Amino acid sequence: MNSIKTAIAALAALVIASPLQAEPVKVGMITTLSGGGAGLGIDVRDGFMLALKQSGNNDITVVIEDDQRKPDVAVQLADKMIQSDKVDVLTGIIWSNLAMAVVPAVTQQGKFYLSPNAGPSALAGKGCHPNYFNVSWQNDAMNEAAGKYVSEQGVGKVFLMAPNYPAGKDMMNGFKRFYKGEVVEEIYTKLGQTDYAAEIAQMRSSGADMIYYFLPGGMGISFMKQYAGSGVTVPVMGPSFSLSQDVLGAIGDAAIGAKNTSHWSKDIDNEANKKFVETFQAEYGRLPSIYASQGYDTALLLVSAAAKADVKDADAFRAALKEADFASTRGKFKFGPNNHPIQDVFVREVVKEGDVVTNKIIGVAATDHTDVYAAECKM
């Protein structure tokens, strides 16, 4: 629809002026820039472009296209980018169903894929690939940490809700894997659903002690606003997507007090994160979300690998990516055997700072957390 093409072109004069240049890398970014999930894609894009700009590396060029959250569009874009734009690395996909449609084809053609969001279980286990690097998280991970945390808090009965697509299933399975109490009800809604009256009515009569829900983007906004007005007072919790910075402004005070688990938060205390939060705000005039931090980290990883190896030498470039030699905004970051992150998961709570509704870390849910699918990955 609205294909925004951005090219950070290597300035000709600069190329001539500096004799020591890394080999150029061409990146194709397929992400969601229109419709209900646009906020997520825009944050990934902005985070990515910010890190690239700060790196001073002018040999990385980026082609950006909008997938409209449609798997068929994403597949077409990937084909176009590989065949006519001749990209070396693809990135940007937000949604697991789109990732499932695009990533295997990309890696089979010998291109690299860096995931700045979405970590479907199928690509972490049997479907893993040496050219697929997940810089965000495996879908289950944050929810496993949440399941563990909720059990430790002594919550006996939970009500689960997620959209009916691969990530929704992964997230709820992850939660159940570590949760020791009783799941009173488990509901899968349509992806993109905006009215949750029927589900809230079931929550009201379920007798649950906690609602655990995964609803990213506009879905989460709709649900929280309707939940707040429903008179149901059971506490809610979710993975960070449900209560990320991109939706908190629109939900407003209704979200205050809700807990969520996250691998990143704007108040993680390290140099890289401070610089990121500060410069992101200065550049775009809003607080960064987890998606922005993931886009930023993805670009940092790419820049670090491009400085060490030529992207045309796939083995060397792969080894350079695997080292994950960059200062992540989340502090600790390294890749496990299936190229998925090993990282800490924090518990955050939604608070109001001045006029801004945002998240604050209140504890650690899991340290050096990895996913369970690595064992099935043979590569």
Partner 1 sequence: MSTILLFEQILNGLQFGIMLFLMAAGLTLVFGVMGLINLAHGSLYMVGAFACAAVAAATGSFWLGVAASLAAAAAAGAVIEVAVIRRLYGRDHLDQVLATFALILVFSEGTRWIFGSFPLYLNVPASLSGAVILPGGVAYPTYRLAIIVVGIIVAAGLFALIGKTRIGVQIRAGEADREMIAALGIDIARLYTFVFALGAALAGLAGALVGTIQSVQVGMGEPVLILAFVVIVIGGIGSIKGALVGAILVGLTDTLGRFLLPSLFATMMSESDATSIGSALASMSIYILMALVLIFRPRGLFGATN
57 binds partner 1 (CB under 8 A): no
Binding-site member from 26, 53, 274, 286 for partner 1 (CB under 8 A): 286
- For helices 271-284 and 38-55, the axis angle rounded to 10 degrees is 110
189 binds partner 1 (CB under 8 A): yes
* Neighbour count for residue 63 (Cβ, 10 Å): 22
Shortest reach from residue 35's CB to partner 1, in Å = 4
Contact region for partner 1 (CB under 8 A) — 96-104, 184-192, 266-274, 293-301?
184-192
229 binds partner 1 (CB under 8 A): yes
184 binds partner 1 (CB under 8 A): no
Shortest reach from residue 164's CB to partner 1, in Å = 5
Binding-site member from 49, 87, 93, 254 for partner 1 (CB under 8 A): 254
Q: How many residues does the chain have?
A: 379
Amino acid code (one letter) for 72: D
177 binds partner 1 (CB under 8 A): no
250 binds partner 1 (CB under 8 A): yes
Binding-site member from 25, 27, 29, 38 for partner 1 (CB under 8 A): 38
Considering the complex, state which of residue 204 and residue 274 has its C-beta at the smaller distance from partner 1: 204
375 binds partner 1 (CB under 8 A): no
Residues 114-173 that bind partner 1 (CB under 8 A): 164
| 3-class DSSP string for the chain | CCCCCCCCCCCHHHHHHCCCCCCCEEEEEEECCCHHHHHHHHHHHHHHHHHHHHHCCCCEEEEEEECCCCHHHHHHHHHHHHHCCCCCEEECCCCHHHHHHHHHHHHHCCCEEEECCCCCHHHHCCCCCCCEEECCCCCCHHHHHHHHHHHHCCCCEEEEEEECCHHHHHHHHHHHHHCCCEEEEEEEECCCCCCCHHHHHHHHHHCCCEEEECCCCHHHHHHHHHHHCCCCCCCEEEEHHHHCHHHHHHHHHHHCCCEEEECCCCCCCCHHHHHHHHHHHHHHCCCCCHHHHHHHHHHHHHHHHHHHCCCCCHHHHHHHHHHCCCCECCECCEECCCCCEEEEEEEEEEEEECCEEEEEEEEEEEEEECCHHHHHCCC
Shortest reach from residue 47's CB to partner 1, in Å = 14
Considering the complex, state which of residue 200 and residue 320 has its C-beta at the smaller distance from partner 1: 200
Shortest reach from residue 28's CB to partner 1, in Å = 21
352 binds partner 1 (CB under 8 A): no
199 binds partner 1 (CB under 8 A): yes
Shortest reach from residue 225's CB to partner 1, in Å = 5
252 binds partner 1 (CB under 8 A): yes
4 binds partner 1 (CB under 8 A): no
Contact region for partner 1 (CB under 8 A) — 107-115, 217-225, 266-274, 292-300?
217-225
Q: 334-335 and 341-353 as β-strands: parallel, antiparallel, unpaired? A: antiparallel
30 binds partner 1 (CB under 8 A): no
**Tokens 């080894």 label which residue?**
319
Shortest reach from residue 108's CB to partner 1, in Å = 29
| Chain residues in the site for partner 1 (CB under 8 A) | 1-2, 33-36, 38-39, 42, 164, 186-190, 192, 194-195, 197-199, 201-202, 204-205, 218-219, 221-222, 225-226, 228-231, 246-247, 249-252, 254, 286
